Amino acid sequence: MRCRFCLMNYEITIGLEMHVQLKTASKMFCGCATAFGAPPNTQVCPVCLGLPGVLPVINAEAVRKTILTGLMLEARIAGHSKFDRKNYYYPDMPKNYQISQYDLPLCLGGALELDYGFVDLKRWGEKKRIGIARVHLEEDVGKLTHFAGDSGVDFNRAGVPLMEIVSEPDLGSPDEAYAFLAALKEVLIEGGVSDCDMEKGQVRCDVNVSVRPREQKEFGAKIEIKNMNTFSGVRAALKYEVQRQVRALDRGEKLAQETRRWDDARGATEPMRTKEFAHDYRYFPEPDLLPIQPARDWVEKQRAGLPELPAARRARLARQYALGHYDAAMLGGSAALARYFEETAQHVRNAKAVANWVINDLQRQLVAAKLDASRSPVPPRALAELVSLVEAQTISGTTAREVFAEMFASGKSAGAIVAEKGLARIRDETQIEKWCAEAIAANAKIVADLRGGKRAALNALKGQVMKLSRGQADAAQVETVLKRQLGLEG
Amino acid sequence: MSWNQLTIHEARQKLARREISARELAEATLERIRAVEPKIQAFVHLDEADLRAQADEADAERRSGASAERKPLLGIPVAVKDLIAVQGQPCGCCSKILSGYISPYDATVVEKLRAAGAVIFGRLNMDEFAMGSSTENSAIQVTRNPWDLERIPGGSSGGSAAAVAAAEALAALGSDTGGSIRQPAAMVGCVGIKPSYGRVSRYGLVAFASSLDQIGHFAKDTRDAAIVLGVIAGHDPRDSTSVNEPVADYEDALQGGVKGMKLGLPKEYFVEGMDKEVEAAVRAAVEKYRELGAQILEISLPHTDYAVAVYYIIATAEASANLARFDGVRYGLRVEGADPIEMYNRTRGAGFGAEVKRRIILGTYVLSGGYYDAYYLRAQKVRTLIRNDFLNAFQKCDAILTPTAPTAAFKIGEKTEDPLQMYLSDVFTISCNLAGLCGISIPCGFTKNPKLPIGLQILGKPFDEATILRVAHAYEQATDWHRQRAPL
């Protein structure tokens, strides 16, 4: 059975839950540092260790960043929000309850548009609006490590502010899930909320997926998948799971709600073996903390201070500079690159030409040198100068590429390099006559072909002239002179 | 007279005049402890060397010029209930589950007392995790009432109360969640004060019921109580439930008398089946207030009957979560198991006493799925009604007078068979915690035979400690119950 065809008979419903570590200097309820990589149990204090007698104190910056995220995701910011205790036992839990938010989260509702360009470069600009159910704030737990005979807990991570973002089940495919995650990541980075480095554990993602025959109205069994460590892992897990569920339904099996674990090494999901007790979290309002009631005018001030989001930037660049979706996407992904492009484009009329230079030559060099556009050794004005030279036909495109490489390496200006190396396009009639004559003389075979009617041979001859001129001869002129010297019509 | 029989205000005068030294005061304390502890058993831990060292330091500071204004308690020994964190000292809450645990930090109140020059010493006996009304639930030992060694000193701060009543300490910190300072104070015949919720920082107080707990203290008289309150009260950024209310000069506020003040008597507190002697003593106190010029009003607190039920739902719910951290993973007792769950079960099974387990189970139940609305949520709503009863009453009166406890001290073992009977001994004190008010218990008489103290409770508006201290002081100045000492 080939799954491609099976899939067409089924409707896929996917929802995501992301846990994002907020980029704050200190933990959610105490002043401990949140830096990654410290030796175990060195970034701890009585509060985040849950010692007898301690009390939590709210990290205001974590609240602000959560509200900022809600604003960026078009959510409603609650006028009255509170923390609740989520009660369950586990060795990585200092208090055996987690301070979280249950029924009055900081942000409710919202939406984020994913762009299919994240999964297919040719589809930039093709969007889908995905609902956000809620964004709330809680504290992270410690980290368990299993050794030969026993286990250890590192509480450095316990108490780090964690923002939970729950999507509506609006995603219809593993690719959409991937694109959604990518879209969310760029928003969170742009907002300075998190660096979203999954390798450092800054983002954790759980998904749930159900499959049903297209005609069926009720949703199929909702199956949760945990333990994916990268966005690609999420997509791979979903692809596998969708296939598995479709095959099962095709075989006439009934699927039951369950939680499964993604095994990246095996490339498969498996039922979770851990003793997961039916979770009655016995939520009740956290009595040690006061409710949060953000003032409306403060919230509006936060909204006014929001940066331009990547999707909006892409759309604006496309519109403002008459660029295609792909170009706008390549330029708009990073604020620094977009800023670079826009500054350069101020000095050159041909925005498309600037776009090409930034997307190709500049980006390539920046990536190789591991530099951000804001630290480019070629400043915008310098690139503008180069592009202008090409536009004015002073140098050829090929020459310009070499010049740019030199500019990047040396920091010299285009003008300086062109002058130094005498790279300006040569239009000197006499010189071109000389080179054409030389080429004709040296390439009797090509000339013969040309006289024999092979028009393509003209390009080969032109190429020889260009070689002699080291690419600097004006191509149009060369063609004219060659034809004249050979006695051909124009 | 032995220095430990002094009040704080007397002792600090003598210290200031160099009539005695802090070291001498400490030695007198230790001598008294040696003499009476075999009978009283108030202390579960005593670091003598540390006490002496602190006293010596206080003397050195005084010699170098530390003045009384900056350090109002310089050299005064203050003992601590076993659930308040003192750096370097065990913080066992009189429970097996915290065996071996030494606190690495000081509670805010301890920091404040130290900054005021106090000498912090001892760990005082209590009902395990503050759950009890007689100190019989301590996993360590039974404390005896200095007035009758066969009787309980009250609870849960029984050790603190007994220590002050037996002159083993000039003052002792306790905690009060449903009456755990006021009721023992009444049982042993000393002053016990529970500040308003939010008046004193809870940082460093091992939590029982987070929305009800407050640290308070025991002292020989109202002036001492006022002095200590002035030191421990105040906003603490480490406690989000502490309030930024200015701290009054409580000692100053003692003066003024009660002439023209309106004192309320809640009719629901004077019911059938009250102990006749308790009722008589309290009514006599009311008469004394009339004599002193106060106006007595009858008031009604209609939701009084629900208080005990509401309390035992809310307090146990919060406690079930607060005590979840005692699991053998990071500190205290650990009984090994094949996996974490087994380790939890064995550790908590062995570490907690019966009353603690009872309350954890009850608290877990009222929060569980399907029951939250019917129990916890409903109890919180009734709590609002109880609080409103008081706020309405305070529109008409400045303070409220009630008996502190329905009986005088009962015998050790008398109520341990029926937990519910034990719960009912808090009936007069419990509403105060639910409503967040301040309350003080002062001695107002004795039963005839045996001679056992009887306590009068004065309840005040939130953050109106000055008024209840003033009302208490006026009565105290007109009587001498507070000067009577247990015949040890």
Q: SS3 sequence, chain A?
A: CCHHHHHCCEEEEEEEEEEEECCCCECCCCCCECCCCCCCCCCCCCCCCCCCCCCCCCCHHHHHHHHHHHHHCCCEECCCECCEEEECCCCCCCCCEEEECCCCCCEECCEEEEEHHHCCHHHCCCEEEEEEEEEEEEECCCEEEECCCCEEEECCCCCCEEEEEEECCCECCHHHHHHHHHHHHHHHHHCCCCCCCHHHCCEEEEEEEEEEECCCCCCCCCEEEEEECCHHHHHHHHHHHHHHHHHHHHCCCCCCCEEEEEECCCCEEEECCCCCCCCCCCCEECCCCCCECCCHHHHHHHHHCCCCCHHHHHHHHHHHHCCCHHHHHHHHCCHHHHHHHHHHHCCCCCHHHHHHHHHHHHHHHHHHHCCCHHHCCCCHHHHHHHHHHHHCCCCCHHHHHHHHHHHHHHCCCHHHHHHHHCCCCECCHHHHHHHHHHHHHHCHHHHHHHHCCCCHHHHHHHHHHHHHCCCCECHHHHHHHHHHHHCCCC
Query: Average of pLDDT values for A422-439?
Result: 85
State residue A473's pLDDT score: 83
**Picking from A70-74, A228-232, B184-188, B355-359, which range would have the lowest pLDDT averaged per residue?**
A228-232
Nearest by CB to residue A284, choosing from B325, B344, B367, is: B367
What contacts A428, CB < 8 A, 6 or more positions away?
Answer: none
Nearest by CB to residue A284, choosing from B240, B341, B376, is: B376
Nearest by CB to residue A282, choosing from B84, B93, B368, is: B368
B243 touches chain A (CB under 8 A): no
CA distances in angstroms from A74 to A109, B152, B295, B395, listed in the order given: 8, 62, 61, 47
Query: Average of pLDDT values for A297-311?
Result: 96
Residues B62-96: tens digit of each pLDDT = 999 877 678 999 999 999 999 999 999 999 999 99
Q: Answer with the residue of higher pLDDT: A478 or B85.
A: B85
State residue A277's pLDDT score: 54
Residue A4 has pLDDT above 60, yes or no: no
Q: How confident is the model at residue B479 (pLDDT cuts 50, 70, 90)?
A: very high
- CA atoms of A158 and A33, how far apart (whole Å): 11
Residue A421 has pLDDT above 90, yes or no: no
State residue B418's pLDDT score: 81
Is there a catalytic annotation at residue B175? no
Distance from CA of A97 to the nearest CA of B (A): 7
Q: Which residue of A has its CA nearest to B109?
A: A53
Is there a catalytic annotation at residue B431? no
State residue A446's pLDDT score: 87
Cβ atoms of residues A177 and A235 within 8 Å: yes
Q: Given the DSSP bridges, would you call strands A223-228 and B77-81 parallel, antiparallel or unpaired?
A: unpaired
Distance from CA of A284 to the nearest CA of B (A): 7
Chain B interface disruption, residue of A288, A289, A292, A293, most B CBs within 10 A: A288
Query: Average of pLDDT values for B130-151?
Result: 97
**Three-class SS of residue B90?**
strand
Q: What is the DSSP code (8-state) at residue B195?
A: P
Query: Average of pLDDT values for B29-36?
Result: 96
Q: How confident is the model at residue A323 (pLDDT cuts 50, 70, 90)?
A: very high
- CA atoms of B318 and B325, how far apart (whole Å): 13
A153 touches chain B (CB under 8 A): yes
Q: How confident is the model at residue A3 (pLDDT cuts 50, 70, 90)?
A: low
**Three-class SS of residue B440?**
strand
Q: Which residue of B has its CA nearest to A90?
A: B340
Residue A20 has pLDDT above 70, yes or no: yes
Q: How confident is the model at residue B126 (pLDDT cuts 50, 70, 90)?
A: very high
Q: Given the DSSP bridges, would you call strands B399-403 and B262-266 parallel, antiparallel or unpaired?
A: parallel
Please provide the distance, in angstroms rounded to a whole number, between the alpha carbons at the two ends of chain A: 63
Please provide the distance, in angstroms rounded to a whole number, between the alpha carbons at the two ends of chain B: 14
Q: Which residue of A has its CA nearest to B375?
A: A284
In degrees and rounded to multiples of 5, residue B313 shows phi and psi of -85, -50
**Three-class SS of residue B305?**
helix
- CA atoms of B232 and B215, how far apart (whole Å): 9
The answer to whether the CB atoms of A96 and B239 lie below 8 A apart is no
- CA atoms of B378 and B382, how far apart (whole Å): 6
Distance from CA of B193 to the nearest CA of A (A): 21
Q: Which amino acid is at B331?
A: Y
- Percent of chain A clearing pLDDT 90 (strictly above): 72
Taking CB atoms and an 8 Å cut-off, how many pairs form between chains A and B?
96
Residue A396 has pLDDT above 90, yes or no: no
Residues B181-235: tens digit of each pLDDT = 999 999 999 999 999 999 999 999 999 999 999 999 999 999 999 999 999 999 9
A86 touches chain B (CB under 8 A): no
CA B430 to chain centre: 13
The answer to whether the CB atoms of B376 and A94 lie below 8 A apart is no
Residues A106-120: tens digit of each pLDDT = 999 999 999 999 999
CA distances in angstroms from B97 to B36, B82, B338, B381, listed in the order given: 28, 13, 19, 34
Strand partners, A77: A107
Residue B476 has pLDDT above 50, yes or no: yes
In degrees and rounded to multiples of 5, residue B189 shows phi and psi of 75, 40
**Chain A residues in contact with B367 (beta carbon < 8 A):** 87, 282, 284
Distance from CA of A28 to the nearest CA of B (A): 13
Q: How confident is the model at residue A1 (pLDDT cuts 50, 70, 90)?
A: very low
Active-site option among B103, B175, B180, B242: B180
**Chain A residues in contact with B202 (beta carbon < 8 A):** 55
Cβ atoms of residues B76 and B8 within 8 Å: yes
E strands, B48-161, in order? 77-81, 119-124
What contacts A354, CB < 8 A, 6 or more positions away?
Answer: A341, A344, A345, A348, A383, A384, A387
Is there a catalytic annotation at residue B81? yes
Query: At how many degrees (to 10) do helices B8-16 and B22-40 cross?
Result: 150
Run of H or E including B389: helix B378-396
Per the prediction, chain A carries an average pLDDT of: 92
Rg (CA), chain A: 31
State residue A65's pLDDT score: 98
Q: What is the pTM of this model?
A: 0.91
Query: Average of pLDDT values for B18-35?
Result: 96
Cβ atoms of residues A248 and A280 within 8 Å: no
The torsion of the CA quartet A292, A295, A298, A303, rounded to 10 degrees, works out to 80
Query: Average of pLDDT values for B306-316?
Result: 96
Per the prediction, chain B carries an average pLDDT of: 96
**Chain A residues in contact with B104 (beta carbon < 8 A):** 46, 51
Distance from CA of B153 to the nearest CA of A (A): 25
**Picking from A3-17, B93-107, B287-301, B474-488, which range would have the lowest pLDDT averaged per residue?**
A3-17
Distance from CA of A273 to the nearest CA of B (A): 15
A82 touches chain B (CB under 8 A): no
Nearest by CB to residue B211, choosing from A85, A87, A287, is: A287
The answer to whether the CB atoms of B364 and A57 lie below 8 A apart is no
For residue B174, the tally of other CB atoms under 10 A from its CB is: 33
Residue A275 has pLDDT above 70, yes or no: no
Q: Which residue of B has its CA nearest to A41?
A: B330
Query: Average of pLDDT values for B27-43?
Result: 97
Residue A276 has pLDDT above 70, yes or no: no
- CA atoms of B463 and B443, how far apart (whole Å): 23
Query: How buried is A224 (Cβ within 10 angstroms: 0-12 exposed, 13-18 middle, 19+ buried)?
Result: middle
Residues A175-188: tens digit of each pLDDT = 999 999 999 999 99
Residue A6 has pLDDT above 70, yes or no: no
A49 touches chain B (CB under 8 A): yes
Query: Average of pLDDT values for A144-148?
Result: 93
Q: What is the DSSP code (8-state) at residue B145?
A: B
Query: At how many degrees (to 10) do helices B354-367 and B307-322 cross?
Result: 100
Nearest by CB to residue B206, choosing from A52, A87, A95, is: A52
Q: Which amino acid is at B392?
A: N
Q: How confident is the model at residue A238 (pLDDT cuts 50, 70, 90)?
A: very high
Residue A214 has pLDDT above 60, yes or no: yes
Nearest by CB to residue A52, choosing from B85, B329, B364, is: B85
- CA atoms of A373 and A94, how far apart (whole Å): 44
Residues B153-196: tens digit of each pLDDT = 999 999 999 999 999 999 999 999 999 999 999 999 999 999 99
- CA atoms of A489 and B310, how far apart (whole Å): 107
Cβ atoms of residues B247 and B234 within 8 Å: yes
